[in-house]
Chains A and B, each alone.
Chain A
Amino acid sequence: MKELVMPIGDESRKALTVGDEVLFTGTVYTARDQAHKRLCAMIRAGKPLPIDLKKSVIYYCGPTATPYGAAIGSCGPTTSARMDEFTPLLLEKGLRMMIGKGRRSGAVVDAIKKHKAVYCAAPAGCGALLAKKVVRARLVAFPDLGPEAIWQLDVSDFPMVVAADSRGKTIY
């Protein structure tokens, strides 16, 4: 089991190899289908983004509503492939790590290799367990999207498996 702590520089990404089990501590932005569509439309229109993509981590996740007294509700990963058409542009703009589940397109894997980024899989269908790894959650953009809004999450010892490493090797 490897430990990965923010900030995730070039060296720490390079040290990750496909198949590695990793415990991650740092800050991620949740974003799924509609948030990706909006972010990419804003980039193409030259508008300022609500989040800083430089060296950022995006977690493909739409949590449940937050139960009273909890930091967040159940919050496991959603299918990454649906974000494939948007990912290369976000990588170009500074995104360096994605967390989700399942296979990626060839174009995404090529872009991961090009930008020396990394793609990790979180245990899918384990949203209750992952909620316990979230220390803080803050709504940062697109509140009208409800569960598809962008949240900033501080996570601690978040379990992941490296699914595509910076050399473009994939687990699936």
Chain B
Amino acid sequence: MTKSVIFKKMDELVARSAFELRADVRVALEKAARASTDARAKNTFKLILENAAIARKDRLAICQDTGLPVVFVEVGKNAKVDAALISAIEDGIAAAYKKHSLRASTVDPLKRGSSFYSGGITHVEFDESVRGIRVSILPKGFGSENKSMLKMFNPTASISDIEDFVVEAVKKAGPESCPPFVIGIGIGGTSDHALLLAKKAFLSDISKTNADKQLATIEKSLFKKLNALNIGPMGYGGGTSVLAVKALKSPTHIAGLPVGVNISCHALRSASVVL
């Protein structure tokens, strides 16, 4: 595949993620809007949905925090990947951010200084069930990313201990992280892997029930507990606090039980394309 073809695909991918709210997220927001009885909460949902419509129509970013692009490259059977392809994906994303007047939000962590456009953080994975090479972009805003949490539980911890930890994390996120949230949870693996799973959980359709029965039960239980916090849209109370809870798991060590929590704002943005 030539560099220009990859650039074109990344251009479409970036534009879709920045300007078009995901259909499953929009449906969840519409449902939350209908369910809210509080006048201010109702008006807040109206503004959120109006914003999504303006963004799509006028090609304006849904949120000015167009994030640090988190990129998942899933490589399937017989697909060819090398460093040049990954570079082309990253460069294509940075170029698309610039072209579409998104925000240059990347900066040296210590020097800070002038910010620049970047291809973000790329994760390359191999998956035999994928046809070709699937590239997914998750522009991650930092109002919510700043509230990420990790806890290394004892292996004897209960599911209720895990749920308590998630509830604490969401309480801490509070009004700053742009509720109503989607909550990503990663259970197992290593410390870094649990947090990666928590983030990857955002790529799944939030309207669908988890295929893993135990995870589905945890998601359902947490959905109830988190909405009982009454954080509400923008943290004003009086309506839905959490649109969905999505969990992923991975085998871990006999001595541990890492749990990662990642928060997404109501503007959960992502898009995928197959190269």
Q: Are A144 and B114 in contact (CB under 8 A)?
A: yes
Contacts of A104-158 to chain B: CB distance below 8 A: 121, 123-132, 144-148
Check B245 for interface membership: any CB of A closer than 8 A: no
Q: Answer whether residue B143 sits at the interface, using C-beta atoms and an 8 A cutoff.
A: yes
CA distance A159 to B40 in the complex (A): 12
**Whole-angstrom distance from the CB of A21 to the nearest CB of chain B?**
6
Residue of B nearest to A63 (CB): B64
- The count of A-to-B residue pairs whose CB atoms sit within 8 angstroms is 144
A126's partner among B48, B103, B105, B175 (CB-CB below 8 A) is B48
With A and B bound together, what is the CA distance between A146 and B106 in angstroms? Answer: 11
B61 in contact with A34 (CB, 8 Å) = no
Chain A's nearest CB lies how many Å from the CB of B147? 10
Looking at A5-13, A43-51, A76-84, the stretch in contact with chain B turns out to be A76-84
Q: Does A25 contact B (CB under 8 A)?
A: no
CB distance from B130 to the nearest CB of A (A): 31
Chain A facing B: main interface SS? loop
Are the CB atoms of B102 and A148 closer together than 8 Å? no
Name the B residues within 8 Å of A101 (CB-CB). 143, 175-176, 178, 234-235
CB-based contact A73/B178 at 8 Å: no
Tell me how far the C-beta of B186 lies from the nearest C-beta in chain A, rounded to whole angstroms: 24
Per-position 1/0 for B93-115, Cβ under 8 A of A: 00000101111110000001111
> How many of chain A's residues touch chain B, expressed as a range?
35 or more
- B174 contacts A102, CB within 8 Å? yes
Using Cβ atoms and an 8 Å threshold, which residues of chain B touch A79?
A: 143, 146, 176
Is B63 an interface position by the 8 A CB rule?
yes
Chain B nearest CB from A16 CB (Å) reads: 15
**CB–CB A145/B63 < 8 A:** no
Tell whether B62 is near chain A: CB-to-CB under 8 Å: yes
Residue of A nearest to B39 (CB): A21
A residues bordering B, Cβ < 8 Å? Answer: 19, 21, 34, 61-68, 70, 73-76, 78-81, 101-103, 121, 123-132, 144-148, 159, 161, 171-172
Closest 5 CB pairs of A and B: A102-B176, A74-B61, A128-B60, A126-B51, A128-B55
A-B contact pairs, 11 of them (CB 8 A): A62-B103, A64-B61, A78-B65, A78-B143, A101-B175, A101-B235, A102-B174, A123-B234, A125-B51, A147-B64, A159-B47
